[in-house]
Amino acid sequence: MPVYIRGVGLTKVSEYWKKSIYDLVVEAGLEALDSSGIDPSEIDRIYVANALGQYINRQGHLGAYVADALGLLNTGAVRVEGTGASGSMAVYLGYKDLLAGAENILVLGVEKMTDVLPTHVYTARSLAEDWSYLTSIGTTFEGLEAILYRLYMKRYNVDQEKIAMLSVISHSHAEGVKHAQFPRKINLESVMRSPIIADPLHLLEIPAPCDGAAAVVLSKKGNVKIDAVEMSTDEFRVFEREDPLWLDAVHDSMKKALANAKLGINEIDFVELYDVSTILGVLELEAMGFADKGKGVELISEEMIGLNGKIPVNTFGGLKARGDPMGATAIYQIIEIYKQLIGEADRSQIDNAKIGLSLSLGGLGNTAVISILSRK
């Protein structure tokens, strides 16, 4: 029994000083419900993805919170947390709930980070990693990315510019995108001149703190089909992995998802990466199988991953330019694939979009989730 996306809704990713979690939830939730054409009372369950609310906003229990905000009482509602992968986990749960007999499921992701200083956001991101042996000894999430970055450049003898270029390409795809946090081009020089967060990682190679909410209605009817949602995990501490530059959870979830969807990797028309940094984007392309080990960097060009490239990537700007409201990010990705597949991607539209794939990560690939969607 196929499961479809029947309605979608999102807020622009931004810094919303005047909007609360409540405001964002209502905006995205109602848009998704309205576009689905079903009555809110027909929603069987609500899955809410949120990464940082208990730390940043002192607000937990967002399942019931969202149900209440949308005026949907007596509804089952569950909050899911897998840091950056929260949103795709929520889609996974909604998908399974439908397969188990539900009729209509609302999946909503929300994150409100900008109520606190950026230093707290950096700290919050590290909740995804081991407290006792990474965070509490002074390691940040960005620091871990930077260590992998330097290792990659050394092992494969690659210039940083070739990796940082992913940020430039992603930004070019976000130009004019209404829901993007940074809907404008940037050049490589400005990336390389931006402040260093953790050497060699620059500020313009990672997402900025932001807020946003996105929602999809899953149903037995619709115009975009879910072909597969598959999850996998890896060693929780990156330093323990046989090769720290190999994202095995990405590799494993990709393998499972393609098998489940009965597709070959060449049949994927475009990809939404989880570019929580430029270097992670490169490692993801390798682990997914789009490039050999050490060769992912060769894909980072307009010809390869541009909107008219061989395998378009981050068609609305990815985490860097569309923005990364953590718990909601994977749902933005799903909605972007939806828009491509129904031909409503505006300036980001690629030709012949029939099958789209998104990847999301929890931590440094501690979790990976692959979703594959296709036009009905």
Residue nearer to a copy of itself on the CB measure, 76 or 143: 76
Residue 292 has which token pair?
Answer: 């050999």
280 binds other proteins (CB under 8 A): no
CA dihedral 317, 321, 323, 324 (to 10 degrees): 80
318 scored as a contact of a copy of itself (CB under 8 A): no
Asked if 75 interacts with a copy of itself (CB under 8 A), we say yes
Among 111, 234, 269, 275, binds a copy of itself (CB under 8 A): 234
Cα separation, 198 vs 147, in Å, equals 9
Work out whether 373 is an interface residue with other proteins (CB under 8 A): no
Site for other proteins in 139-198 (CB under 8 A): 139-140, 142-144, 146-151, 154, 195-198
- Number of neighbouring beta carbons within 10 Å of residue 243: 10
SS3 at position 372: strand
Question: CA separation (Å) from 57 to 33, 52, 54?
Answer: 26, 8, 6
Residue located via tokens 């070739």: 162
290 binds a copy of itself (CB under 8 A): no
Choices 1-9, 135-143, 282-290, 293-301; region in contact with other proteins by CB under 8 A: 135-143
Closest separation in Å from C-beta 235 to other proteins: 7
Tell me which residue has tokens 């479809």. Answer: 4
End-to-end CA distance of the chain: 13
Question: If you search the block for the tokens 């390389």, which residue do you land on?
Answer: 192
Report d(CA 204, CA 191) in Å as an integer: 5
Q: Minimum distance between the CB of residue 63 and a copy of itself, rounded to whole angstroms?
A: 6
Q: What, of a copy of itself, other proteins, none, does residue 339 touch, CB below 5 to 8 Å by kind? A: none
Smallest gap from Cβ 37 to a copy of itself, in A, equals 24
Applying CB under 8 A, does 232 fall inside the site for a copy of itself?
Answer: yes
Contacts with 100 (C-beta within 8 Å, 6 or more apart), sequence order? none
Identify whether the C-beta of residue 49 lies closer than 8 Å to the C-beta of residue 109.
yes
208 with 121: CB under 8 angstroms? no
Q: Which stretch binds a copy of itself (CB under 8 A): 89-97, 262-270, 334-342, 351-359?
A: 89-97
Number of residues that bind other proteins (CB under 8 A): 62
Alpha-carbon distance 338 to 179, whole Å?
A: 14
Check: CB of residue 330 under 8 Å from CB of residue 358: yes
With contacts defined by CB under 8 A, how many residues of the chain interact with a copy of itself? Answer: 60
User: Is position 145 an interface residue for a copy of itself (rule: CB under 8 A)?
Assistant: no
Q: Which stretch binds other proteins (CB under 8 A): 51-59, 94-102, 249-257, 326-334?
A: 51-59
Contacts of residue 312, Cβ cutoff 8 Å, sequence gap at least 6: 269, 270, 271, 305, 306, 350
Three-state secondary structure call for residue 357: strand
What angle is formed at CA 174 by the lines to CA 311 and CA 33, rounded to 5 degrees?
A: 95
Report if residue 73 touches a copy of itself, rule: CB under 8 A.
Answer: yes
Q: Least CB distance from residue 304 to a copy of itself, whole Å?
A: 29
Output 123 or 301, the one with its CB closest to a copy of itself. Answer: 123
- The binding site for other proteins (CB under 8 A) comprises 17-20, 22-23, 26, 30, 40-41, 56-58, 68-73, 114-120, 122-123, 126, 131-140, 142-144, 146-151, 154, 195-201, 235, 237-240, 244
- The binding site for a copy of itself (CB under 8 A) comprises 20, 45, 51-52, 54-55, 57-61, 63-65, 67-69, 72-83, 89, 92-93, 96-97, 99-101, 127-132, 135-136, 230-237, 248-249, 252, 362-363, 366-367
